Every structure is written in C-alpha cells, then in structure tokens.
Amino acid sequence: MDINEMTAAVEAILFAGGDPIEGDKLALAAGIEPIELKNVIAALEEKYARPDSGLVLLRLEDSFQLATKQRFSENIKEAFEIRKNSALSAAAMEVLTIVAYNQPVTKSFVENVRGVDSSSTVNSLVEKGLLCEAGRLELPGRPIAYKTTDAFLRSFQISSISELPPLPDQAEQLTIDEVIAEGSLSESEE
C-alpha cells in the first residue's frame, strides 16, 4: 500500500470513528505498521494545516481524532442550532485543576483540598464529559476515583496532561503567617 492509500485509509477511519482512536488500534485497522503510522499522521497534519482545510488532526495522549478548526465553531453552531457553551464556574475550574494535577482522585480528596462539599460540582463535570470514573480505589467503602477525559484535553487545547503548566514550587510560596507578619510590619511602620 502506498503512502496516499495509507493516508486515505487512516483519514476514513478517523472520520467515521468521530472519537479519539489509539495509534496502535488505528494502525491495525488501516492494515499498516505502527512505524508507517507516523508518516501517515505527518501527511495528514500537513494536509490539515493548509488554510483551505476546515479540519485539524488532534493528538490526545496516544490517540488521534479528526476535529473541525476552532475558527469555524460559530458556523457549526449555527448549522446545528447548538446553544452557546456555558462558562465553567470558579468552583468547577478549581475541581478540574485538583483532578488534573492529582488524578485519579476521589470526591473526598477534592473536598479535603477545597474545604467544601464538591459532590455536585464533580457530578456536573462528569455530565459535561470533562471528568469520568477511573475505577474504584482499594480503600474502605471502595470510593470511585475520577480523572480528566479527552474532552477536557480538547476544551483546554492540550494534547496531554503533561502539557499543563507546572505547579509553583512550594518553597517560593508565602504562608498565611508570613502574609500576616508582613501586614503587621507595614502597619507598625506607619
């Protein structure tokens, strides 16, 4: 099979699948070797990088997915009468951050970090497809663990969790006691 035929086969599979497909599974389905898949993916990325293409090839961890380019989102919403996506609340962003950097985690873990009941926020993020169940932990009560999804990666336009910015070094962070002490010093100097 030549490169054009391999590329067409992979493109057809990605288009028909809709959801992300792991590279190994994609190569097997297309009848090509995993090493050949790298060349095919490069060819597709080059094809979709052109300004006259409405598609983009997404890399999501070890998977690939065809998607529309962001600049056409309003056209697509209009065509399918999709209502506007609602922004995530501050609480939802906090929960996503906690899960993304510590996954898999339980609702209890999220609640301990945030200091408030987060059950409804976690459930809402699961409904939105940004979080999913990652199995049960071997702890008393066998609590459900949660992790981020491919929809999370797409929403934040990253290919992998490893692309998240690093957390600040704790040694560089001020403690609340240091902030209070600095405030006390400033007031006494006045």
Is 186 inside any structural domain?
Answer: no
68 and 133 co-located in one domain = no
Here the tokens at position 157 are 């336009």
Which of 41, 73, 105 is the last residue in one of the domains? 73
User: Does residue 7 lie in a domain region?
Assistant: yes
**Which CA distances in Å does 158 have to 24, 29, 149, 164, 173?**
21, 26, 12, 8, 27
Domain encompassing residue 31: 3-73
Query: 177 in a domain, yes or no?
Result: no
Asked if 166 and 96 sit in the same domain, the reply is yes
Q: Which residue, chain included where needed, has tokens 């929403």?
A: 155
The structure's pTM equals 0.56
The amino acid at residue 18 is G
Residue 19 lies in a domain: yes
Q: Does residue 190 fall inside a structural domain? A: no
111 and 162 inside one domain: yes
d(CA 103, CA 131) in angstroms, rounded, equals 10
Query: From first to last of its 190 residues, what are the pLDDT tens digits of the chain?
Result: 788 899 999 999 999 988 899 999 999 999 999 889 999 999 999 999 999 999 999 998 889 999 888 888 888 777 776 555 667 888 999 999 999 999 899 998 999 888 889 888 999 999 988 999 999 988 888 899 999 998 898 888 888 888 888 877 766 666 666 666 666 555 555 5
